[in-house]
Amino acid sequence: MDPRTVRVRARLATAGAVALTLLLASSTLAVTWSSQVRVPFGATREGVVNGHATAAVGSTVHVLAWTDSSVGYDRSTNAGTGWDTAVTIATKTASITYTPVGIAASGNLVVAVYKSKGPGNARGLLMRRSVDNGVTWDNPVKVSSYSSADNDMGDGDVAVAGKDVYVVWTARTTGKVYLRRSTDSGATLKPAQNIGTTASPFISGKEGEATVAASGKNAYIAWIPSADDKGIELLRSTDSGATWKPKQVLSSAGGSYIGPSASASGKTVLVSYNLSSGVVRVARSTNSGTSFSSSTVAPASDSTKAHDVVIVGGQARLSLVGDLPYVWVRSSANGGGTWAARSQAAPYGDTPNVTIAGGTTVVNFNIGAGGFSALTFAVHD
């Protein structure tokens, strides 16, 4: 199979996969990993998507997972030491199945985005929000819909900053990259904006692997624009997505089938991406995206298959997984200016995603558990 048909950023756990959560205190760059603690989703074939399947505000961690064609949500209010009873926010039926896309949070607002398949060839991109820190959830809102399997949408991403909500995705038939946004905490959504295009191939069309980040009134959307997965482009807005500055090219040599990951805090923006050689780089801006510089964070010899980046204040983290397949974390105490040596978070894993909760780094990833059985765990220091 052409590796470009395997989209890593939104790839779900396959049969026999299990999600783990790993926690690392960021008060120092010394790393100690704890033993596993069960995250009680309570279903088989669980797994997290690669990318933004984990979000945090303060010490509260929010996790979105695939639970055998349904979408489950769980949270920890103490940075992963203990977990609430999981809830299902999209339950499969005889005619409709669901897959998670991403989750984002700001204050007590939590926004989860997921896809539906069915009935028949119908496809949908949906959003649910909680305004009480994940305790209760509003009814789902349809972000986008398509009438046939051949006119599908990509998996996309979600970001929240204050009352501003951003959902991005790719229309796989046309290659158009779309945004829908809200300025009232997700109570209403404004009409879709076509903010870019992609020719990057996907098994059923095109897929830009769009990612979105936000801080204050600033928003940033990055995606793969070209055939053969070449390059990384970025748009930025300084007015909550009402208007967008001219497109920027972060890399013209980006490549492979791994989509970018973006995160923002204050005026600092980080975008991790791959080169076709397998090198992983992080583009960094300290002036709200006006200009960027890039540094290498993983060599080609690591054969990185997936990565995710997060920044909170001056603390930045990058999770990586390669062919070995060890799960690694690289830490920065100066907002991605320099990176400490990598730490092995686990001896095996896949599809890592990372966030920071109350000074603790949280990394979710999947591991094979054999057969179709799987469990979800957390570890902390």
Residues of the chain with pLDDT under 50: 1-29, 370-376, 379, 381
pLDDT number for residue 363 = 78
pLDDT number for residue 242 = 97
Domains of the chain: 3-8+50-61+88-355 (2.120.10.10)
pLDDT number for residue 229 = 76
Burial of 136 (0-12, 13-18, 19+ CB in 10 A): exposed
pLDDT number for residue 37 = 65
Residue type at position 116: S
pLDDT number for residue 34 = 64
Q: Which residue has the tokens 């780094």?
A: 361
Is the full-model pTM beyond 0.85? yes
pLDDT number for residue 42 = 66
- The answer to whether the beta carbons of residues 294 and 325 sit under 8 Å apart is no
Q: What angle do CA 209, 355, 188 make, to 5 degrees?
A: 60
Tokens encoding 186: 């997700």
